[in-house]
Amino acid sequence: NPSDFVKIVEVGPRDGLQNEKTIVPLETKISLIERLSTTGLRVIEAGSFVAPKWVPQMADSTSILTHLSRSPPPAPKDVSVSYPFLVPNLKGLESALTPSNPASEISIFASASEGFSQKNLNCSIDESFKRFAPVVQQALASGVKVRGYVSMVIACPYSGETPPEKVVEVTKRLLDMGCYEVSLGDTTGVGNPYSIDVLMKALVDAGVPVEKLACHFHDTYGQAIVNCMVGLANGVRVFDSSVAGLGGCPYAKGATGNVATEDLVYFLHSVGMTTGVDLEKVSEVGAWISKAIGRKNNSKVGPALLAK
Ligand code: HMG
Ligand code: MG
């Protein structure tokens, strides 16, 4: 039954690492991506082509893309893995589409709040769309898939509560532009089952196809799993997560990591969904990366499972 299948978008190598103060060595990043590739994950966000002055941790994304193209990581039989990169403007697209080894997929990222758009992209929401238009056009013309993000879908530390209508508007603009999927970012993890339900219903009532939506929930307040449950109940079948719950956004005060991939997979399997992800393998990757970068493992399931 296809409606039982949930696609997990692993964002650890990008969202998980972008906020690390100490530069994570390129070999560690590549090893993380390679290890994740063996777990059955279908999508692994691998880096971002943003201004290195803004996010120094992602400055080696060209080396990552080159490596992935020259030596594709081993994936399980019959699984093909996509490695998207974040792109904010045409300069980023140029790096993503190097003639020798272009990325097969990119993500553009918009905000539902003006305050965060200014902090994260240094421009208004409207200006960001003016920048995205040629990026999407050129990417699609080159056969590159484009995913869209909307940040601050519940509330924003700079602008306050986000009206669901604003999320609907930005989501529709991204889809109309040609994004094949839009990921709804609760960037600072302030959503609760009620506010997420209101948002999901506003999107569906406005005619946004639920098949084109993904949930991208940060776990700052420990609500990410229960919020994913609400997304699932509303028909969402794509969820973003980060191994060991790594991460945070450098331009969102107080934002910590995404829901841990291990916890998400455990939850989904326990309610009868399939993901194709090997929970034990991904738990081992979570333990390894936490140790490698000297971070507490923020997954509950991973350490519990490995302790058995
Ligand atoms: P700006 O300063 O207004 O841009 O930043 P600019 O065009 O004036 O350029 C300034 C400098 O950056 C120039 O260099 C450019 O060449 C360079 P200089 O001449 O000073 O040496 N530059 C670039 N370099 C490499 N790649 C590029 C690029 N663009 C400009 N693509 C800009 C505007 C958009 C570039 C900047 O604001 C930026 O990079 N922002 C990205 C911030 C970011 O990465 N945030 C985290 C990801 S979003 C997120 O985490 C949320 C998400 O997870 C969902 C959720 O949780 O809600 C997706
Ligand atoms: Mg995020």
What is each CA distance from 140 to 85, 144, 248, in whole angstroms?
A: 15, 5, 29
pLDDT band at 165, cuts 50/70/90?
Answer: very high
**Active-site residue numbers?**
249
Q: Which residues contact 304 (CB under 8 A, 6 or more apart)?
A: none
Has the ipTM of the complex gone over 0.95? yes
Ligand 1 pocket: which of 54, 111, 125, 153 to mutate (most atoms <8 Å of CB)? 54
Q: Return mean pLDDT, the chain.
A: 96
Q: What is the pTM of this model?
A: 0.97
**For the chain, percent of residues with pLDDT exceeding 70:** 98
The encoded tokens of residue 243 equal 């191994």
State if residue 149 touches ligand 1 by the CB under 6 angstroms criterion: yes
Residue type for 90, please? L
Cα separation of 260 and 237, whole Å? 17
Give per-residue pLDDT as tens, 93-123.
Answer: 999 999 888 999 999 999 999 999 999 999 9
Residue 2 scores a pLDDT above 90: no
Q: What is the residue with the minimal CA distance to atom 30 of ligand 1?
A: 51
